[in-house]
Amino acid sequence: MDLGESTFRLFIAKVGKAVLMFAAITYFARVLGASQLGSFFLFFAAQGLLSIPADMGMRGALEKRLSEGENFGEKLSSALLFKLVLLVFVSIGIYLARDWLNGYFGANLAMLLIVAVVGRELSLLYIQAVRGELRVAETAPIELGRRLVWVVIGSVLISNGYGVEGVIYGLIISSAVALVWAYAKCSIRLERPSLEQMRSLLAYSKFDIVTSVGGRVYQFMDTAIIGFFLAQQFVGAYEVAWQVTLLVLMLSSSISLTIFPQISRWSSDSAVDQIGSTITTALAFSVFASVPALVGAIIYSEEILQYIFGPEYVIASLVLIVLMFEKLVQSVNDIVGISVRAINRPDLAAKATVISIGINLLLSPILILTVGFVGAAIATGFSWLVNTALHTRYLRQSVTFEFPVRLFGWYTFASVIMGVSLLAIKSAVPVTGIAILVIQVAIGAVLYVAVSLVVPDIRRQIISPALSMLSSRFTGTA
């Protein structure tokens, strides 16, 4: 598996998905209105939360076990059988709770939820099966295609009067397309399920589910707690700031998805040296964009929120800065966290997740009541700093790797040069609209890259390998 090629393709797919998501939500919000769009987001959240009992860590376990090699057909069929049993129970639960769910959604969507959960889970299972075959790059167009199908079909249907149901139909059809596509890509043919393979999958999934739950709690906890203590306007402003900072993770999350199956295979072969060097390289790339993004947020947080989303969101300017720091930490966590799981220590990953979630649950209410909704961001940032420290400690117990501290220092140096220059530009030409904001941010990006090109360490270890990979990608050379 070509790690550089896979990362590039996943990164491009993530950029495309982010653009499509932004455009879609903007269009849906204008056409549907707040009430119907709210019903969709409740439906979407329910689908995401139900993935916990509908999966129980099985997707991650399947990718891990397939990446180890041997008995592919038995492993996939055993995982599929387990998944189908879970989906039957979840579907029955949704059916029994359909009246309550319809009232919660504000529309009759419970039966569509069954179809949506089943389609999503089966499509994701096969996507991770392809990744488990060390063909991560081939899943990138599937993920992007899923998002494109949803946006196009959802837009067409709501423009023809289908309302919120049209968006959900688009979501269901996109999962069906992704399932067929991933099934066609998967080279594994089903065999008779094996009790031995089922035990092997469950031995991994029982810990991996904790990490999965942690991800879901991480995604929804802040909003839920803010909504409990503060007015709705603070929830909306916090979510906007959160969505802006998520863009920073596209690079590190692409790298983490790429290296997981490869490290898993090396772990099975006891190739510890290769694992360590790959983690060191991945860490060097993971924060290349995160450091300047933090500096940019410090300078432009108010302008980003005011001119892109509206003046009512400026109250989250400090939240945006704190969350951008949290995403810098998360960029490192994406690498060390996935590596702990890849070396077959989901128990340690689960331990780190439980501790960090406990810290967040304890600190968030206290800080929200004392310093306002920025307290939720502070609690999240601190809890993920602890999570990253724990994952790093656990990973060092089995693998020797280095944090590229010298490179991190150079990133900071280049970011400071960029920041000082932007402060001077902003002072001379104040930001009074989105056009000036975009121009100044673009100038900042150019300055950061220019300084990076001058620094020998960054040029040799980051810029040159990236350019070489892009060159071979577009010229077709090896």
pLDDT tens for the chain, 478 residues long, are 445 555 556 666 667 777 777 677 666 655 765 456 556 766 777 787 788 888 888 887 887 778 776 777 888 888 888 889 999 999 999 999 999 888 877 788 899 999 999 999 999 988 888 888 777 777 778 888 888 899 899 989 988 888 888 989 999 999 999 999 989 988 888 778 778 878 888 877 776 676 666 666 666 566 656 656 665 566 667 767 777 787 787 767 777 766 666 677 776 666 667 777 788 878 887 888 889 999 999 999 999 888 877 777 788 899 999 999 999 998 888 888 888 877 777 778 778 888 888 888 888 889 988 888 889 889 989 998 999 999 889 888 887 788 888 888 888 999 999 999 999 999 999 998 889 999 999 999 999 988 888 877 777 777 666 666 555 554 454 4
Domain ranges of the chain: 1-193, 210-403
* Residues 278/258, Cβ–Cβ less than 8 Å: no
Q: Is residue 62 within 8 Å of residue 131, measured between CB atoms?
A: no
Distances (CA, A) of 290 to 310, 359, 368: 25, 24, 26
The reported pLDDT for the residue numbered 474 is 47
Tokens for 460, please give them. Answer: 């040799």
Reduce the DSSP state of residue 359 to 3 states and report it.
Answer: helix
DSSP string, 147-186: HHHHHHHHHHHHHTT-HHHHHHHHHHHHHHHHHHHHHHH-
Helix, strand, coil percent values for the chain (each to nearest 5):
90, 0, 10
CB 45 within 8 A of CB 220: yes
pLDDT of residue 47: 83
All residues at 6 or more sequence positions from 78 whose CB lies less than 8 Å from its CB, including other chains: 193, 194, 197, 198, 201
Q: What is the largest CA-CA distance in the chain?
A: 71
Alpha-carbon gap, residue 307 to 78, rounded angstroms: 52
Calculate the alpha carbon distances from 258 to 21, 57, 146, 299, 458 in Å. 22, 19, 19, 33, 22
CB atoms within 10 A of CB 369: 11
Task: Give residue 478's pLDDT.
Answer: 42
Residue 47: CB atoms within 10 A of its CB come to: 20
Cβ proximity of 275 and 399 under 8 Å: yes
Distance of CA 33 to the CA centre of its chain: 27
Quick check: 239 and 78 in contact, CB under 8 A?
no
pTM exceeds cut of 0.85: no
Residue with tokens 């149901």: 165
Would you say the C-alpha torsion 125, 388, 413, 307 has a positive or negative sign?
A: positive
Q: 461, 255, 474: which is closest to 453 by C-alpha?
A: 461
Contact in structure between 34 and 154 (CB atoms under 8 Å): no
Burial 180-208 (b: 16+ CB within 10 A, else e): ebbeebbebeeeebbeebbebbbebbebb
Q: What is the dihedral of CA 393, 366, 232, 301, to 10 degrees?
A: -60
106: region left, alpha or beta (phi > 0 left; psi from -120 to 50 alpha): left
- The whole-number pLDDT of residue 285 equals 78
Provide the 10 A C-beta neighbour count for residue 248.
25
Task: Quote the CA–CA distance of 368 and 375 in Å, as a whole number.
Answer: 5
Residue 111's pLDDT is 93
pLDDT number for residue 34: 44
- Do 57 and 212 touch, CB atoms closer than 8 A? yes
DSSP class of 477 = -
163 dihedral zone (left: phi>0; alpha: psi -120 to 50; beta)? left
